[in-house]
Amino acid sequence: MIQLINIVYVSNSEFGISPLELLNNDKDINISLVITQPDKKRSRNKVIPSPIKLKALELGLKVYTTYDINRDDELELLKEVGAEFIVVVSFGQIISKRLLETFKNKIINLHSSILPKYRGASPINETLLNLDEIAGSSIMLIDEKMDTGDILKTTSFEVDPSFKYEELSEKLSIIGGKDLAHVIKNYDYYFKKRKPQKSSEASYTKLIKKSDGQIDFSQKSDIIEGKFKAYSVWPQIYFNYKGMNIKIIDFYFINRQAGLNGEIVKVCNDGIFINCKDKTLVITKIGYPGKKSMEVSEFLKGNSIEKIIIGG
């Protein structure tokens, strides 16, 4: 009988779903345990499990939730299940030195950038913000610092110009899942070929805030386009109109019209025309506070937008 490779899968976000499915479907790999963060309480005492917990239960996998994977109980549990590898994908907790030493060189991570570029919390967002033509994922060893471990495998590809956050995230998660399975099954080879990261080439990404979605119309069109792609899931891009944040759901650019940056130069059924530094933004669909997202032509049937100058 072929001996399966026993792993513990540690993840929390939707990004980890495709790798979980791919590893679970691999005939050479056994997922003995899925670790994720506890259910979150929302308004009206509604409890929301993590996307990983929901998928793991759907797949019939054993699930364990914890606020801190580094506690004594969690360490003993990992030993009991006989994990050969601990696979971490978008988990949101730091792995302690003690855990790293207990499972030395057997805690691996999928990171959604070509390391050392875009270390940190939001590599996919940063790739899109910068309108990068090339994206990729890295399989690396975890060490005590953030995203500094040796690289086991990297895969890169050209970014489809139409991709927003959802599409790029999905592609990276699928590619990363396939690479995880390949690395786990050929671990000795990749471990011997591992490459240290060059810290001199590193850059760090930040946690995204809601305010990051606000558009500054003194900036150029490519910056606005990058924000639209990067923040399409959250926080989405918006502009402030008379104290209200209006989301920009869809738009296109035309040659810049006469007027100032941030000036609403035209409002009609074709859209809301707002000047930025080098072009004019034509907003065709908006999310107005208290209303569902709608085409501007539909919105204007019972509402109006004045031609004013708005700030960034």
**Residue 179's domain is classified under what CATH number?**
3.40.50.170
249 and 178, same structural domain? no
In a domain, 311, yes or no: no
In a domain, 193, yes or no: yes
pLDDT score of 41: 81
pLDDT score of 160: 98
Q: How confident is the prediction along the chain (312 residues), in pLDDT tens digits per residue?
A: 568 999 999 999 999 999 999 999 999 999 999 999 999 887 677 889 999 999 999 999 999 999 999 999 999 999 999 999 999 999 999 999 999 999 999 999 999 999 999 999 999 999 999 999 999 999 999 999 999 999 999 999 999 999 999 999 999 999 999 999 999 999 999 999 999 999 999 999 999 999 999 999 999 999 999 999 999 999 999 999 999 999 999 999 999 999 999 999 999 999 999 999 999 999 999 999 989 999 999 999 999 999 999 975
Contact between 139 and 153 under an 8 Å Cβ cutoff? The reply is yes
Contact between 246 and 212 under an 8 Å Cβ cutoff? The reply is no
Residues 6+ apart with CB under 8 A from 3: none
Between CA 280 and CA 153 the distance in angstroms is 43
pLDDT score of 279: 98
Q: Which helix (H) or strand (E) holds 156?
A: strand 151-158
Find the length of the chain.
Answer: 312
Residues 6+ apart with CB under 8 A from 187: 85
Based on the number of CB atoms within 10 Å of its own CB, is 119 exposed (0-12), middle (13-18) or buried (19 or more)? Answer: buried
In a domain, 305, yes or no: no
Tell me the backbone φ, ψ of residue 295, rounded to 5 degrees.
Answer: -65, 145
The residues pairing with 241 across neighbouring beta strands, listed in sequence order, are 244
279 and 151, same structural domain? no
Full residue range of the structural domain in which residue 38 is found: 5-205
The residues pairing with 134 across neighbouring beta strands, listed in sequence order, are 158
Contact between 141 and 175 under an 8 Å Cβ cutoff? The reply is no
Contact between 150 and 141 under an 8 Å Cβ cutoff? The reply is yes
Q: What percent of the chain has pLDDT over 70?
A: 99
289 and 229, same structural domain? yes
Between CA 53 and CA 248 the distance in angstroms is 33
| 181-240 pLDDT tens trace | 999 999 999 999 999 999 999 999 999 999 999 999 999 999 999 999 999 999 999 999
Q: What distances in angstroms separate CA 300 from CA 245, 252, 267, 308, one per listed residue?
A: 17, 19, 9, 16
272 and 138, same structural domain? no
**How is residue 143 annotated by DSSP?**
-
What is the C-alpha end-to-end distance of the chain, expressed in Å? 65
130 and 29, same structural domain? yes
In a domain, 307, yes or no: no
pLDDT score of 42: 75
177 and 160, same structural domain? yes
Total domains in the fold of the chain? 2
Contact between 140 and 202 under an 8 Å Cβ cutoff? The reply is no
pLDDT score of 47: 87
- Global pTM? 0.95
115 and 217, same structural domain? no
In a domain, 39, yes or no: yes
Phi-psi region of 264 (alpha: psi -120 to 50; beta: other; left: phi over 0): beta
Which alpha helices (DSSP H) does the chain contain, by range? 17-25, 51-58, 72-80, 97-102, 123-129, 165-185, 187-192, 221-230, 296-299
Q: Which helix (H) or strand (E) holds 272?
A: strand 271-275
pLDDT score of 2: 66
**Token pair 């006989």 in the structure block, residue:** 82
157 and 191, same structural domain? yes
The residues pairing with 5 across neighbouring beta strands, listed in sequence order, are 29
Tell me the backbone φ, ψ of residue 275, rounded to 5 degrees.
Answer: -75, 135
Q: What CATH number is attached to the domain comprising 291?
A: 3.10.25.10
